[in-house]
Structure 1
């Protein structure tokens, strides 16, 4: 039997031995000595003593007989399994049937060994401790990863909130300062244009007024993009405005379909849906090379569903995952913020961005049901 050098030099194994036979306890001690395992054995033979050692002792592993007076090794394992960090647990029995061994392993014990095979005891202990350490390390890593993801989610939510707040501030400044100033200049130029008789001056005035008209329209458009006051009229009106405005700017045909004239949607969900449609349309204009876009908006079955589909060239997996491509990632985070989710499907016939947000507790519990019997949506073209 090979020795266990890491245990000899670096660590003394503290073994809690649950055994009612002093002879068998001595055999365990002898087997470990022959394998040159540095260890400390604590012997207990009742469940109360065993539980007390679990509470107050410091042990690396449990060795437990299977048949004990009034209880079994599995009863002891149940006490260990309830701990925050269960110790590795090895059943060491003189006679354990196959069914009992299968049940023990199914319940999660580390290993089992027959007492007539004591030469393997050191190896079994070593392996059980190594597996336990690996499992604890994986549990810590999973917990750290979950905490990191939670912090990233909180950061993303904070950033989105800050961005929306800054957008509102900028839109307010554009309206109050720039918009007001442009409107005043337009009034003054109109006043001058009405009173001049010089043809050259009048032509310059008309040109300036036209430029001012474009500047005012641009400021209105920027304000709508930064802080959409049209959401005060409801999500349906806001999405229809997006479609109409997008069609006017790009020349692409936009169809908007809704399940009803108005949708009862919380303000935060409205904003997420609006930004999702806005980002999806922006991606269509930049990358899709499409000729038409369809926007479907529904709140059936207590789930808000927004789908923006185009007939463009689609996206490759590399394009979706390329570095510094944060648009879709931001949409995922927005959806997660309101307990929703985002699906993106793409192929040679185009791309679909689908946002789903449960609006009721029942809808949060039941999703993905067949909706093939739905009534047809009302059709509202974006250029209507």
Structure 2
């Protein structure tokens, strides 16, 4: 195996095993920051040694053992290690075999999920730490995904780990009383990561596939860790169904293609089947479960005109009752417009405008422009699309909106 091949293999192993290695170390040493630092040192050692020695039979165990030794050396240098060494030695005396470790590894991962998304951290830090510890992304990869300087992401992660240590956040799964609220935060972080990949808020690209893939993978892992939580399955189903449209959302030039204009033969039928299967395990009344049912309505429609917009409108109405927001109201208005006609949809959109919400949200004038086009009011529609283009920070989306505005102008 060449050095380049070995390095690629090391990187692949790291992406798969990093979260488990860090989680196991965090359980043993009670410090997420130390666990992540020592795991990174083990990775550097692997990059140095594996091209010569070859990849070990159990790379995750090799990384864990190497990182553990580094951590012990680190504690010894701090002359603060006797108690920790005794605890670790006690753990190792009773260490189960590999088969018995499966449940423990799952527990460690679940602890890591809840720690990375602890409420002591601001949301941007939760996202960065989740991608770093559970997604296995480097600071450079996270920075590029969110169009932020690498130094900013690095500082964010460092501050997050210091905040966890300062607050003495225990490396544990919250008790039954705290778990629902904390689980909601975890789901929210994964959903936010997916949405940023699905419709990038800024930059030159319409989508960021890597972020979507990481979010789907994180959701699947979470579903294996807490299989009895319906909303977790709701999120998995939602992401699978949304992700199924990925290839159809851009044309050959990378330009955005709107939902009703997409070639549905390019939708991933395997992802749709998986999403619909998982949906059976989702709760019917949770926000992610309801959104998954909405996505399922689109997935089941072979043609745009086959879409059950009446059901979608009803689902958005149900969503507004349990998770009210102006964005949900806007989506409800779109569904009403499709089910009962653009005039009815426009009335609801104008109510949102009159309420003064979503003032800087580019999709509000975009939706209004679309409804005005259907009502044969092109001059007004052009103004709305132009305003929407001025509000978005995504270059591909801006180009699409300006093209829609130009299409509203009378041609000589």
In the superposition, the TM-score normalised over structure 1's length comes to 0.25
Identify, as 1 or 2, the structure richer in helix. 2
Q: Which has the larger radius of gyration?
A: 1
TM-score of the superposed pair, with normalisation by structure 2: 0.24
